[in-house]
């Protein structure tokens, strides 16, 4: 019987508004609702990155399609930069660029962006926050010639994502919704519509 080497890897939990740049093997887990996680991976250098962004755009700076729109000194020092899809991705992309990694050498995965219970309609184009997050990620990635190789976005359920920084592989488990049935006085699983 062979032992699965991934079970021997150290693990860490990525919280909302965080980003990890990794050059060591690590299993990174995060739980997503309307937030999104984006992973970048380069097999040759063994470099990996993952972010857990909450909102599509930073209110302080406007992304117009260039890394330089969000890489001034204020953005780099901003303690909230990784909360925003555009800021987090620009910083991840720039780190890969500085390491000499070309877009075609990068594996990109996008997860999350669900429409959650009670979520108000977003102001922009009447899209949910989850949909806005996914669109923001797609725009930034496309602007920088990065192709999404794996995507599991949208829908009505949350996701638990586990990213292996050694292989670039990701496992995704859907989290079923629970609702309180006041008649039965118990929690029940809701079906995805």
For 40-64, the pLDDT digits (tens) are 999 999 999 999 999 998 877 655 5
Selecting from 2.30.30.100, 3.30.70.260, 3.30.1330.200, 3.40.50.300, what CATH number does the domain 5-189 have?
3.30.1330.200
pLDDT at residue 71, rounded to an integer: 57
The pLDDT value given to residue 58 = 82
Mean pLDDT by 10 residues, the chain (193 residues): 62 96 95 96 96 89 56 66 90 93 97 77 66 95 95 94 97 77 54 39
pLDDT at residue number 61 = 62
Q: How far apart are the first and last CA of the chain?
A: 42
User: For a pLDDT cut of 90, what percent of the chain falls above it?
Assistant: 61
Pairing mode, if any, of strands 18-22 and 47-53? antiparallel
pLDDT for the residue 174:
93
Where do the structural domains in the chain lie, given as residue ranges?
Answer: 5-189
pLDDT at 79: 76
150 Cβ contact list (under 8 Å, min separation 6): 107, 108, 109, 110, 170
CA distances for 154 relative to 46, 79, 169, angstroms: 29, 28, 20
Backbone angles phi, psi at 150, to 5 degrees: -140, 135
Q: What is the pLDDT of residue 53?
A: 97
pLDDT at 118: 56
Whole-prediction pTM: 0.82
């Amino acid at each position: 019987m062979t032992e699965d080497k991934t079970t021997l890897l150290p693990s860490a939990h990525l919280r909302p508004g965080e980003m990890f740049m990794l050059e060591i093997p690590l299993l990174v887990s995060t739980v997503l609702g309307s937030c999104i996680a984006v992973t970048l991976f380069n097999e040759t250098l063994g470099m990996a990155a993952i972010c857990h962004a909450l909102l599509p755009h930073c209110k302080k700076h406007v992304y117009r399609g260039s890394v330089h729109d969000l890489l001034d000194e204020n953005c780099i020092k901003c303690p909230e930069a990784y909360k925003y899809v555009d800021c987090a991705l620009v910083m991840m992309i720039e780190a890969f660029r500085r390491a000499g990694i070309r877009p075609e050498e990068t594996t990109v995965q996008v997860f999350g962006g669900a429409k959650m219970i009670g979520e108000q309609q977003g102001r922009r184009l009447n899209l949910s926050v989850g949909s806005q997050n996914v669109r923001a990620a797609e725009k930034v990635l496309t602007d920088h010639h990065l192709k999404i190789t794996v995507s599991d976005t949208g829908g009505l359920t949350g996701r638990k994502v586990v990213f292996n920084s050694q292989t670039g592989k990701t496992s995704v488990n859907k989290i079923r919704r629970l609702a309180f049935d006041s008649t039965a006085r118990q929690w029940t699983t809701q079906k995805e519509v």
